[in-house]
Structure 1
Amino acid sequence: MASISAQVPVLVLLGLLAATARAAEPSAVEQRAREDLDRQLQEMVQTPPPEIIISFEGLPGAGTSKGYKLVEADFLVNNQPLAIPGLDKLNGPGLHRLAVLTVEEGSYTLVSHVTYANESWNLFSEESGFLWKLTASVTVQVQRGLRARVRVLPAINPTAPDPRLKLKLSHDVKAEMTAQLADVAIPDKVDAGTPAPVAQAPVKPPPVSVPPVSTPVVVTPPPVAAKPVEAPEQGPVAPAKLLLKVLAGKRPAAATVYLKSASGAPHRVVVDRKASKPVEVMLPPGEYRVDVLSQGYLAQTRKVKLSREAAPTVAFTLAKAPASKSQKVQVKKEALVLPRPPRFAEKQSAPRKGSTAGLALLVDMLVRDENLRLRIEGHTDNKERPAATLQALSMARAQAVAQALVDAGLDASRIDTVGMGDARPKAPNLLPRGRELNRRVEFTLLGTK
């Protein structure tokens, strides 16, 4: 009997524990009530689609006589170009709105390309004639209820050891919530016999106050769906129109034209020699290089920026290719010898008027072979200026000729310049004719890019 009585408390304790365990498990009614509450809580949160706001921070002092001038700018979102305000606006200091994009959830990459030039010209400055071509990229991951603010930030590095590193480009990204929780009382506990609370009508998020900036231009790069800001247009980006005109003398000429952008394959256009009117070409807005090749003529190139607001005309007047070997560029190892090289007056950095016609042969060579690069060496005689300034004068001559090639359409990144001063005379400096020959530039091929 004693053993039986000892087992009774144990059985009672086990029974109490089992009852407690059953009480901890929610009933079916409680489970449904909790699921309803979770669903209503989700509905209380407003989750608008993701947004990406892209802005450009103007370089302090840009556009002034003492600063740096923005000469080129383009921006790509997932390889699709953005239509942007004019460079005159982006040159100003402060924040400039580029685009407001309403997008799908996912990853988006912004690639920014900008080119600056030094506004101040000084023959003795090591930055004179420089072009800073800067590229930076950033990738953002967005989801519903979030807004990503991306700022493109050019900046000056005053302590850079090399003038080529004086300017730099970066991005700043900030994320913020666009969804808000509705003003609903949420009970701490849901009883089985109490009906689930009814959610109030969703409260729309208050409008976001944005400081006034330059008028934005909104684009829609697939798969990005653009949200118009201060612009009535919606839907896909409309193409831009370009008018092509190729002449030989005063008559139309047959030619093949290649239109190349930073992204995408080149667009090929065949121009008929009987085309009495400019040929219309429809392309996405953006910056393009236009190369024209025609049999028996020197190749040429241009740069053009296309927008939906205007239809620019790019006209080429072709020059006949030289027939005799003496009129062509002579290649001696890596050196290039022009039949008529640029000539320079004493103490002058710019070539003499009418002495740069031979540069068209170099343009033809670099257009036909995109892998070639060029180095231009400037030289002086030994009596033009004080010895301490001869190197700067020779550098200015090289840069002046490089600028003439850039004005003809070549990309500045394919041309290097160096000043040699009077260190490598071509002829004796004792005679005027010898000094004239020493005032020169020389060209060297650098091979592939």
Structure 2
Amino acid sequence: MLWTPVASSSVQALWLGILALASATARAAEPSSVEQRAREDLDRQLQALVKTPPPEIVITYEGLPGAGGARAYKLLEVDFILNGQPLAVPGLDVLSGPGAHRLAALKVDEGSYTLVSRVTYTNNDTWNLFSEESGFLWKMTASVTFQAQKGLRMKVRVLPGINPTAPDPRLKLKLNHDVSAEMTAQLADASLVEDAGTPAVVVRAPVTLPLPPPPVTPPPTTQPLAMAPPPVATPRETPELGPVAPGKLLLKVLSGKKPVAATAYVRGKGAPQQVILEKSAKKPVPVMLPPGEYTVDVLSKGFLAQTRQVKVTREREATVSFTLAKAPAKKTAQASVKNERVELPKPPRFAEKQAAPRKGSTGDIALLVDMLVRDESLKLRLEGHTDNREAPATARQALSEARAKALADALVREGLNPTRIETAGLGDTRPKAPNLIPRGRELNRRVDIVLVRGK
């Protein structure tokens, strides 16, 4: 048999592996050790053909819709900063026109990237004393954070827009970002021609040759012979090739009904990401992340910090909304720590024989969440207690444990990771006040909050 020269020895080895496997399966219906090794070698060589290019970022600017029309707007200034570095972009005469304009096409390292866009427009109409927009400047700033991975091209569009129904001229123009991703990883084509009469074999993706079916046994004419069942091929997972397509997480931070400037820290797979949320952001800020479980912490000056647990998938966008509460200004309204025990201004209270806290008595646990968000090294130990009359002695231990777990559940509902909380029940063994009077027994029905330091 004659072989036509090929570009690489690896492709020859691949073809020889295919022929060896085919001949082996032709000789026997039952897989042999030689066949198994050929299969494994074939899989390895096919996977080696996968080429994963470095991450890419393509940034475009969409010209303002309606530019040049009856109500045209003039672009005065632009500034685009990627991870603290300004981008060299086309001039205003180019960006002022309608349509998409490329700002940058970069090959980058894997990691988190934040694009900050600053754009200034003015009304281009003839000055009019009766026009509320004459001489008005729209200075707009928006930012977006996304994750760059090997084999992915992140496409970021900067989108100025017109809101014709805005009640306030300051809101007439808006600035947003749109982020999408596309795969760039490709399989190297490898072809091998045997001779003029044999068609070329092109390998484009990992393949697994099926085992031939067991030989068909004709129906017996006499007593059937006992036959061993045909071997069953064990299914093998196809290895996932190239990078994992990202999912999208949408972050929204409000104070009341208005957006508030804040910093979000997204922790999960890989290094933590820092996302800057502008006060002017009208829509949720998108963050591109590999699928998985994440913790999102939000901090804003003058507000109590909050946290959430979220699962990111490729199938649907995950949205996390925060409504921040003002941090208390008075010292008497703040949590205090003494001997590693946290004292809340209004600690949770418990009715007699009840495990759940009284309604409306858990509002100050937001101070606990704020404390743990700001210090990652802290954990909590919740110790439940009872008085010496509210239940039989044998039931007080279980009741105290249930109180500690009820408070832990309330903290988890506030977004705290349950791995940072442990609980214990101590029954009536550690009274805080005398059990002789009702007020003393009420003080003894409690949950002590103990700080546990260290990773």
TM-score (norm 1): 0.50
Q: Which position in structure 1 is the counterpart of 2:391?
A: 385
Q: Distance in 2 between matches of 1:394 and 1:219?
A: 50
Does 1:319 find its partner at 2:295? Answer: no
Q: Which position in structure 2 is the counterpart of 1:152?
A: none
Q: Distance in 2 between matches of 1:181 and 1:277?
A: 55
Q: Distance in 1 between matches of 2:247 and 2:411?
A: 27
Unmatched 5+ stretches in structure 1: 1-38, 52-177, 183-205, 226-234
Post-superposition offset of 1:43: 5.1
In 2, are the aligned partners of 1:219 and 1:237 still within 8 Å (CA)?
Answer: no
Does 1:352 find its partner at 2:358? Answer: yes
Q: Distance in 2 between matches of 1:437 and 1:209?
A: 64
| Residue 256 to residue 40, structure 1, CA distance change in 2 (3 Å) | closer
2:280 to 274, 279, 286: 274
1:246 to 253, 264, 271: 253
Does 1:371 find its partner at 2:377? Answer: yes
2:437 to 431, 438, 443: 431
Does 1:257 find its partner at 2:264? Answer: yes
| Residue 386 to residue 321, structure 1, CA distance change in 2 (3 Å) | same
Q: Secondary structure at the match of 2:419?
A: helix
Does 1:409 find its partner at 2:385? Answer: no
In 2, are the aligned partners of 1:298 and 1:364 still within 8 Å (CA)?
Answer: yes
Q: Distance in 2 between matches of 1:41 and 1:275?
A: 58
| Residue 408 to residue 50, structure 1, CA distance change in 2 (3 Å) | farther
Does 1:44 find its partner at 2:23? Answer: no
Q: Distance in 2 between matches of 1:440 and 1:427?
A: 11
In 2, are the aligned partners of 1:44 and 1:181 still within 8 Å (CA)?
Answer: no
1:310-343 residue CA offsets vs partner (Å, 9 max, x unmatched)? 1121100001111111111111121110001111
In 2, are the aligned partners of 1:302 and 1:408 still within 8 Å (CA)?
Answer: yes
Q: Secondary structure at the match of 2:387?
A: coil
Does 1:342 find its partner at 2:336? Answer: no
Post-superposition offset of 1:413: 2.0
Q: Distance in 1 between matches of 2:340 and 2:425?
A: 18
Q: Distance in 2 between matches of 1:271 and 1:244?
A: 8
Post-superposition offset of 1:208: 3.5
1:136-187 residue CA offsets vs partner (Å, 9 max, x unmatched)? xxxxxxxxxxxxxxxxxxxxxxxxxxxxxxxxxxxxxxxxxx89999xxxxx
Post-superposition offset of 1:50: 4.8
In 2, are the aligned partners of 1:341 and 1:356 still within 8 Å (CA)?
Answer: yes
In 2, are the aligned partners of 1:252 and 1:276 still within 8 Å (CA)?
Answer: yes
Q: How do 1:3-14 residues align onto structure 2 when only pairs under 5 Å count?
A: none
Q: Distance in 2 between matches of 1:219 and 1:42?
A: 19
Post-superposition offset of 1:238: 1.8
Q: Secondary structure at the match of 2:448?
A: strand
Give runs of ≥4 in structure 1 deviating > 6 Å. 39-42, 178-182
In 1, are the aligned partners of 2:246 and 2:289 still within 8 Å (CA)?
Answer: yes
Instruction: Look up the equivalent residue of 1:385 and give its one-letter code.
Output: A
Q: How do 1:129-140 residues align onto structure 2 when only pairs under 5 Å count?
A: none
1:230-270 residue CA offsets vs partner (Å, 9 max, x unmatched)? xxxxx642211111110001110000001110x31111110
1:334-368 residue CA offsets vs partner (Å, 9 max, x unmatched)? 11100011111110101111111111111111111
Q: Secondary structure at the match of 2:327?
A: coil
Q: Distance in 1 between matches of 2:326 and 2:250?
A: 23
Post-superposition offset of 1:412: 1.8
- Aligned residue-pair number: 243
Unmatched 5+ stretches in structure 2: 1-14, 22-37, 46-207, 213-230
RMSD: 2.8
Q: Distance in 1 between matches of 2:440 and 2:243?
A: 64
Q: Secondary structure at the match of 1:380?
A: coil
In 2, are the aligned partners of 1:243 and 1:278 still within 8 Å (CA)?
Answer: yes
Q: Distance in 1 between matches of 2:210 and 2:363?
A: 67
In 1, are the aligned partners of 2:309 and 2:417 still within 8 Å (CA)?
Answer: no
Q: Secondary structure at the match of 2:362?
A: coil
In 2, are the aligned partners of 1:292 and 1:301 still within 8 Å (CA)?
Answer: yes
Q: Distance in 1 between matches of 2:383 and 2:341?
A: 11
1:82-130 residue CA offsets vs partner (Å, 9 max, x unmatched)? xxxxxxxxxxxxxxxxxxxxxxxxxxxxxxxxxxxxxxxxxxxxxxxxx
In 2, are the aligned partners of 1:241 and 1:280 still within 8 Å (CA)?
Answer: yes
Q: Distance in 2 between matches of 1:359 and 1:265?
A: 29
Instruction: Look up the equivalent residue of 2:262 and give its one-letter code.
Output: A
Q: Which position in structure 2 is the counterpart of 1:137?
A: none
Instruction: Look up the equivalent residue of 2:336 and give its one-letter code.
Output: Q
Q: Secondary structure at the match of 1:296?
A: coil
In 1, are the aligned partners of 2:346 and 2:361 still within 8 Å (CA)?
Answer: yes
Q: How do 1:47-86 residues align onto structure 2 when only pairs under 5 Å count?
A: 47=39, 48-50=42-44
Q: Secondary structure at the match of 1:49?
A: helix
Q: Distance in 2 between matches of 1:219 and 1:422?
A: 57
In 2, are the aligned partners of 1:240 and 1:285 still within 8 Å (CA)?
Answer: yes
Q: Secondary structure at the match of 1:403?
A: helix
Q: Which position in structure 2 is the counterpart of 1:310?
A: 316
Instruction: Look up the equivalent residue of 1:258 and give its one-letter code.
Output: Y
